[in-house]
Amino acid sequence: TTPMWLDCDTGHDDAFAILLAAQAPGVKLLGISTVYGNAPLENTTYNTRAILTAIGREEDVRVYAGARKPLHREAAHAADIHGESGLDGTHSLPQPTVPAHQTGALDTINEVLSAEPPGTAWLVATGALTNMALLFQKHPKLVHHIAGLSIMGGAIGGGFTDAPLGTIAGEGERFGNWTPYAEFNIYCDPEAAQAIFCNTALAVKIVLIPLDVTHQFLADSTVKMGLLFGGVGSIRIERSIADATPVRRLFFEIVSFFAQTYADVFGLKIGPPVHDPLAVAAAFRADLFVYNNATDNSGDQKERFHVHVITDGEHGSDSTIRRGPSQCGRTVVTRTRPGEPGVLIPRGVDAQALW
């Protein structure tokens, strides 16, 4: 089993990341830290505790509240996608029963991961990278102890490129979800993200799951029915929602709300993409992901990338900024030369197997 610490901003898809990390037989979930993001920190922490209560893991999975704002900026929140609470749209969320620890997140993550055998434990980040940047600043030796850091973040688009850093995509090309260029988690704290990707010892241990991959993992209507009744693809239509267990109903409501906001905001007809559990899966089921080889004939060497985060330009929640030309928070990737260190970025995922 893979020892894992999850850092999240519980939102709809983070709830699925928690479910997977807490319930997959291949994972030992060591604890969860929370970060502002989809909603303010109080909400994301509350939502995390409520999900753990819903799935019966509130007693043994400790929750630590982390950063309430980015390193150098004001926090942005994604109420248009996740609602004001960060987890709107369900009547089935139980009251959390166990309080969160309000201090000590960074030291606890370091202690708990360091207690695992070297090269075994994974960190998984499904929100802004503020906690992760502060963690490795405070505990730099942890980099050498962990097996990896799996991140949901970034939007690459336009094909993965060999072009030099800073090359601009074609005019009008949209691949971000917060601005035309930027994905939300990276946008929230671009300086924290840049600090993480610049840390060369850490970069070789990073798996990055960008929107390009998460948009292959959609909760279409078959998946939704499978969530409700069990067994994706084997639906008995005479069943009614009343037959579903409370946990199934909860996750069905969560994904249904998420589908509606994705349809409203992005006009997405099939979906929504359920981003965050992919970062959990990449840490313990690498076999479910498709990687290109480093070169056409290099055998099983996976391609790696330098990741550069643009930190210049206007930044904020204001709609004129969001629709404007600012590239702040954009992730620019360039393939490393064969044998050179860099971040792993899969090209695809076996969505059916993962569901």
307 forms beta bridges with 333
List Cβ<8 Å contacts ≥24 apart for 194-201. 194/308, 194/309, 194/311, 195/71, 195/129, 195/133, 195/136, 195/137, 196/129, 196/132, 196/133, 196/136, 196/149, 196/151, 197/306, 197/307, 197/308, 197/309, 197/343, 199/136, 199/143, 200/341, 201/143, 201/144
Q: Which amino acid is at 49?
A: R
Q: Candidates 41-49, 56-64, 177-185, 256-264 — which segment interacts with ligand BDR by CB under 6 A?
A: 177-185
Determine which residue in the list 14, 116, 183, 212 makes contact with Ca ion, applying CB under 5 A: 14
**Partner whose binding site includes residue 183, from ligand BDR, Ca ion, none (CB under 5 to 8 Å by kind):** ligand BDR
Euclidean distance between CA atoms 224 and 216, whole angstroms: 15
Euclidean distance between CA atoms 292 and 339, whole angstroms: 14
Q: Does 189 bind ligand BDR (CB under 6 A)?
A: no
Q: Are 34 and 20 in contact (CB under 8 A)?
A: no
| 106 backbone dihedrals φ, ψ, rounded to 5° | -65, -45
Site for Ca ion, residues 269 to 298, rule: CB under 5 A: 276
Nearer to ligand BDR, 54 or 294 (CB): 54
160, 166, 172, 178: CA torsion to nearest 10? 80
Strands (E), the chain: 2-8, 27-34, 63-65, 122-125, 148-152, 206-209, 289-290, 304-309, 331-335, 343-344, 348-349
Give least dist CB 15 to ligand BDR, A.
Answer: 9
Determine which residue in the list 39, 276, 334, 345 makes contact with ligand BDR, applying CB under 6 A: 276
Site for ligand BDR, residues 16 to 75, rule: CB under 6 A: 38
Nearer to ligand BDR, 116 or 183 (CB): 183
Q: Does 212 bind ligand BDR (CB under 6 A)?
A: no
Q: Is 275 considered catalytic here?
A: yes
Q: How many other C-beta atoms lie within 10 A of the C-beta of residue 184?
A: 26
Site for ligand BDR, residues 302 to 331, rule: CB under 6 A: none
Closest by Cα among 208, 192, 201, 137 to 341: 201
Give least dist CB 11 to Ca ion, A.
Answer: 5
Q: Does 194 bind ligand BDR (CB under 6 A)?
A: no
Q: In residues, how long is the chain?
A: 355
**Partner whose binding site includes residue 78, from Ca ion, ligand BDR, none (CB under 5 to 8 Å by kind):** ligand BDR
Site for ligand BDR, residues 116 to 135, rule: CB under 6 A: 126
Q: Which position among 275, 306, 308, 315 bears the catalytic label?
A: 275
Q: Does 126 bind Ca ion (CB under 5 A)?
A: yes
Nearer to ligand BDR, 294 or 345 (CB): 345
Q: Helix, strand or coil for residue 9? A: coil
Q: Does 185 bind ligand BDR (CB under 6 A)?
A: yes
Give least dist CB 42 to Ca ion, A.
Answer: 16
Nearer to ligand BDR, 34 or 110 (CB): 34
Nearer to ligand BDR, 45 or 110 (CB): 45
Give least dist CB 104 to ligand BDR, A.
Answer: 24
Chain positions contacting Ca ion, by CB under 5 A: 9, 11, 14, 126-127, 276
Chain positions contacting ligand BDR, by CB under 6 A: 11, 13-14, 38, 78, 81, 126, 152, 177, 183-185, 275-276
Just list the catalytic residues.
275
